[in-house]
Amino acid sequence: MKNLRIATFNINGIRARLPNLLEWLEREKSDIVCLQELKAADKDFPTAQLESVGYGSLWHGQASWNGVAILARDAQPLESRRGLPGGDDDRHSRYLEAAVHGVLVGCLYLPNGNPQPGPKFDYKLAWFERLIAYAQGLQASDHPVVLAGDYNVVPTDLDIYNPRSWLKDALLQPESRECYQRLLDQGWTDSLRHLYPDERVYTFWDYFRQHWQKNSGLRIDHLLLNPAASPYLSEAGVDAWVRNQPHPSDHAPTWIRLASRKRR
């Protein structure tokens, strides 16, 4: 196991936020990066610009909506899966998986589900069920696995500034939280919550009502580790400075560090 910094970042439009992304990559130098919400067709993905700062890339784009990518510092990700099993009629670009730097990385963008109740919430739960079913095999792997991305779930009330303001939102519904807990119950480690069990750590601040300025945030971006990877977890955090850049995404990059040796 190398000493790896692994990050996930909902970029909210890679063409619009490319300067922010490149600045962050050059400053923080994450070894593996999972991106969500590219909002760009495959032909518009900025391969050359990413190569110019030292990153190989793999992407699964979609014009105007969704889209996921995996970046590797000084390497090229080796694709192992594109899309979850069981979604023959699903045309959304929401899951990409690759071997990178000795780790298997699944990059996901789980459906938002709003408004609920309704077909969008039904789709969210159905997609979640497909993820849970597929993740069971990854969890049991002897190889280190990281499932990173925007889960669009606030796991507990500790993960939001004020749950009363979001009671009707799909991100806080009991069904969404129950799916996330069932995923954890397979044996996955929620990295940030594992290292900071009692702290309010946020990864998302929407653009309304000065939520960034007031630190009225949510934690919806998660990095889950299987038992083969979790003993190497040494650090975790949020690069909140990126949320304060001009024309930012409403998310900030969330990261972990896997040490070269297991914890004793």
- DSSP state string for 192-259: HHHH-TTS----B--SSTTTTTTT--B--EEEEE-TTTGGGEEEEEE-GGGGGSSS--SB--EEEEE-
145-167, pLDDT tens digit by residue? 999 999 999 999 999 999 998 99
pLDDT value of position 118: 98
Known catalytic membership, residue 202: no
Can you tell me the distance from the alpha carbon of 83 to that of 94, in angstroms, rounded to the nearest whole number?
7
Active-site hit among 31, 95, 150, 180: 150
Known catalytic membership, residue 150: yes
Provide the mean pLDDT of the chain: 97
Active-site hit among 95, 109, 151, 202: 109
127 in helix, strand or coil?
A: helix
43-74, pLDDT tens digit by residue? 999 999 999 999 999 999 999 999 999 999 99
Residue (of 100, 115, 117) closest to 258 by Cα position: 100
